[in-house]
A = this chain, B = another copy of it.
Amino acid sequence: MTYCVAIKLKTGLVFCTDSRTNAGVDQVNSYSKLHRFNSFADRKFFLLTAGNLATTQAVIKAMQNDLEAGAPFNLANAHSTTEVADYVGRLSVQIQQKYVAGGPMAGFDASASFIVGGQILGREADIYLVYPEGNHIAAAKKHPFLQIGETKYGKPIIERIINSQTAPETAMLCALVSMDSTIHSNATVGPPVELLYYAKDNFQGEDTQYFFDEGDPQLAKLSNAWNDKICAAFSGLPPLGDPFYN
């Protein structure tokens, strides 16, 4: 599996993902699930991917091919990030349909989910969650984050900490803590961890990026500090009162 989270802040967008993939327990690998389309003067897009690796790779490849071939619709001529989310959904469904038309592949799961984020000059920076069915939802002011993959373990901390006014450094740290909780509880999610902050309107400059490999001392330090602090927080809780009956 996978865990990816994206956060839409007032100042920009945060993306965080693990890199573990598995096609059965004897084929556990590491692939980047954070894809950057950042060679334009007036736009920048990011894609987080979860689900069938062949499907997600084929979608990325098709996006690159459309761009190079100057297809009627491609990333360079899109008018909005919503259009790009639509486009990713369309490609994903097309690719999945090759494998699910019954026959020898019946029952095979080619489905994939995506988070599409980015900005086009003059428009808002935004994030979208593209479902396996190809449709998508946007983040909302009251719910400024989107998750795909193993989303549940790391959701409580994000809900407690994040709102759209959160500072980028805090949001990045929170995404990493959310990732750490997920890695702790689910063996199919693991390092390397990629973390990126896109400051809005930064179309041509570098983004703020972190890459934490397996055994990275900074990630280990954060993980230990968080564990210690959670245990201390727990032991500081008021005791339960009198039972119902004893």
Contacts and interface: CB of A to CB of B under 8 A. Distances in A.
Contact of A229 (B161, B209, B237): B237
A108 interface: no
Interface size on A, as a range, is 35 or more
Contacts of A105: none
Query: Per DSSP, are chain A's interface residues mostly helix, strand or loop, or mixed?
Result: helix
A173 B231 CA distance: 13
Interface in A36-56: none
A70 interface: no
Given A172-B240, A241-B218, A157 B234 contact: yes
Contacts of A206: 245-246
B245 A209 contact: yes
**Identical copies of this chain, number:** 2
Contacts of A156: 153, 181, 184-185
Contact of A243 (B181, B210, B240): B210
A143 to B, nearest CB: 12
A159 interface: yes
Given A209-B245, A246-B208, A240 B176 contact: yes
Nearest to A161: B234
Contacts of A157: 230, 234
Given A152-B153, A155-B153, A232-B233, A238 B209 contact: no
25 contacts: A152-B153, A153-B153, A153-B155, A153-B156, A155-B185, A156-B181, A156-B184, A159-B184, A161-B231, A161-B234, A169-B240, A173-B234, A173-B237, A174-B234, A206-B245, A206-B246, A208-B246, A209-B244, A210-B243, A210-B244, A211-B244, A222-B238, A229-B233, A229-B237, A233-B233
